[in-house]
Structure 1
């Protein structure tokens, strides 16, 4: 059986590096724990944990090259030279990752300093996904068919005059499929393909990587400062670090309703737009447009980045509604990187606990706009709902 390994330390989503940069600045002593959540109830074959362990242990050899460092310096000037020096010396520590298997059930946890462990989530999921298909000898469609399907999709998006991003690293079928898809999008997408969130693939395409921050940024701030001010403190700290760069705000860590209550005129003007990642996209667009109008801001000057389980049909519906009302782009993940004739995996790795300096471990929660996407213990979820006065 062939092994699976990563090809670059930059084979990761861009927002992991932007958040790592901010964490080093603001929370260098914070510790965190993450856990693998098997939403799809996938059954893992015998000895899968051993295969994953081998792949994880091999990540210790990944290093930032001089060429990769120059790419980041040239394309991401808001990343401090000191951070790029840090990343050049960074080394994955496989002891931060615990992997266990009980019959067909896989358990993966991560623990350590946040500034270090933040890079594990995406490549771990990519490895789990690729190993899952490989370990069962599941046969995908051939490369020519992958190219044909991807070309057809991007040509459809072009005909709709839409801007598309590729967000598929975490649940990709394999590195080779994502690379092929990304190359095809770049070859045939022209100005309609803005790029990829995968920094390694962005470098291969000579495009700027795409992304800002993720739910864990807001989840940590809730544990540090409290649920009521989590959104405001997250946005304030983000703007303090990036001074207006990386200006797409994620809205649904504690429901979009609560987010917009704290997305005041300062933030609404400073951030270029918002990202929708759960719930009804049309209802979200309505809320967003109404929010900007309430702030005295022309919605057509702002953008929504839609990123929740998108496919062509869903994008068409969203685009028909938003056109002429607000700018839009679409971050498409699994439908690009794992549309190969096999069922796509449904899994996440989420922040579960945090430990601020001189504090004890504390559970964290995420209250998505979709009830079945909530994460955290029942007790902490109930507490968050009570404090925020929400009922979903």
Structure 2
């Protein structure tokens, strides 16, 4: 594919940013089914949060164009081929991963309305409604804003300038792949949908990883690309589940148990490599200290904030204390990764546990230094559930720079979950 020419000629009606309701991460569909089954009446509000306030999205992105893209997403529904793939494909060794009642609902879904307002040089974008309906806006909204920002920067470039830009970006990705190729025992997947440079670019990166890494490349989080390219769809669960379950808790006692209630529901639905713990929503150490014994039997842990090596050490120690062999467990690293950190973590832990990597933004959006003033550098944009049934959600994380929620509730959650002083770590992407 000549991406430069496609970008030069693109019109949104020809190249809409979101092409399908399954142009989303696999874990969103798994979580959506879980919410559909366990919390179907929960009302949730999602909101866009630009952590990189120096990137003035409302100055870069035309509001009319943004509305056109969002309205286009609301017109989408599953195609027959997409439905057949979800109903009949084998995911994580399991056929019929998605239940018939969920699929019947999903096949008739149109995403609910959104609220968009310009506030200064940023956009306020929110989604309200039943949790299992509005949650599917998250990845689409992020991908739209990231790609519209990319298009705004590329808009004034000529055909040859674009060809040179993409040639340099492709060379950068391929050089990374060549370095990764030399890492023994590597297991790595694409986790780059939410903050990608664009759909075409993510698709190209997946094809490059597949050719360059062979069996070391285990798949992509993006369902549409997984289906089209016939690679594995990869993903488990995210912070959204414990954040909403915790907001629904009636008192401090119920709050302390909410993160484990999430995984109890997940345990009932999934097995094997889908039983991956994400422990850092309210602090990894406290979560593991109070975890029920049955969780130690799960397949592994995903490390998504704080110092990744420290998080892995905590997990290994916890397994040992619970009588589990860490060499039979999997540690998935997924926060702010690039080649040097991947190589370092693989070398540090490969002999002690099974190591995997979910490589995100610096795979699918590393255009750092390729245009003047670094206007294509990736930035930190999230879309989070901010309330559930009218009560605010909270995320603490192992990195206080990623904490979110009302100050009073953050203080309460720190007390309930025993979170003390934390070391701030710069949020890169």
Is the pair's TM-score, using the shorter chain for normalization, greater than 0.5? yes
Structure 2 vs 1, CA of residues 100 and 323 (structure 1 numbering), >3 Å: closer, same or farther? same
Structure 1 segments, 4+ long, off by >6 Å, are none
Structure 2 unaligned regions, length at least 5: 1-9, 371-375, 422-429
**CA deviation string 1:233-284 (max 9, x = no partner):** 1110111122456111211100101221243331121x21010000011111
What is residue 72 of structure 2 aligned with on the other side?
58
Of the three residues 359, 368, 381, the one matched with 1:347 is 381
SS of residue paired to 2:274? coil
What is residue 27 of structure 2 aligned with on the other side?
15
Which deviates further from its counterpart, 140-149 or 175-184?
A: 140-149
Of the three residues 134, 139, 162, the one matched with 1:117 is 134
CA deviation after TM superposition for structure 1 residue 147, in Å: 3.3
Instruction: Determine the C-alpha separation between the residues in 2 that align with 1:186 and 1:70.
Output: 24
Instruction: Determine the C-alpha separation between the residues in 2 that align with 1:108 and 1:155.
Output: 40
Q: Normalising by the residue count of structure 2, what TM-score does the alignment of the two structures yield?
A: 0.86
Mapped contact 1:252–1:368 kept (Cα < 8 A): yes
What is residue 4 of structure 2 aligned with on the other side?
none
Alignment of 1:239-318 (within 5 A): 239-244=267-272, 246-269=274-297, 271-318=298-345
Structure 2 vs 1, CA of residues 244 and 323 (structure 1 numbering), >3 Å: closer, same or farther? closer
Alignment of 1:1-392 (within 5 A): 2-3=11-12, 4-41=16-53, 42-44=55-57, 45=59, 48-73=62-87, 74-76=89-91, 77-93=96-112, 95=113, 97-137=114-154, 142-161=165-184, 162-225=186-249, 226-244=254-272, 246-269=274-297, 271-340=298-367, 341=370, 342-355=376-389, 361-392=390-421
Instruction: Determine the C-alpha separation between the residues in 1 that align with 2:136 and 2:71.
Output: 15
Q: Normalising by the residue count of structure 1, what TM-score does the alignment of the two structures yield?
A: 0.94
Instruction: Determine the C-alpha separation between the residues in 2 that align with 1:109 and 1:204.
Output: 31
Instruction: Determine the C-alpha separation between the residues in 1 that align with 2:153 and 2:188.
Output: 33
Mapped contact 2:280–2:287 kept (Cα < 8 A): yes
Corresponding pairs, count: 384
CA deviation after TM superposition for structure 1 residue 50, in Å: 2.3
CA deviation after TM superposition for structure 1 residue 106, in Å: 1.4
Alpha-carbon RMSD: 1.7
SS of residue paired to 2:192? coil
Structure 2 vs 1, CA of residues 274 and 132 (structure 1 numbering), >3 Å: closer, same or farther? same
CA deviation after TM superposition for structure 1 residue 208, in Å: 2.3
Instruction: Determine the C-alpha separation between the residues in 1 that align with 2:241 and 2:323.
Output: 28
What is residue 426 of structure 2 aligned with on the other side?
none
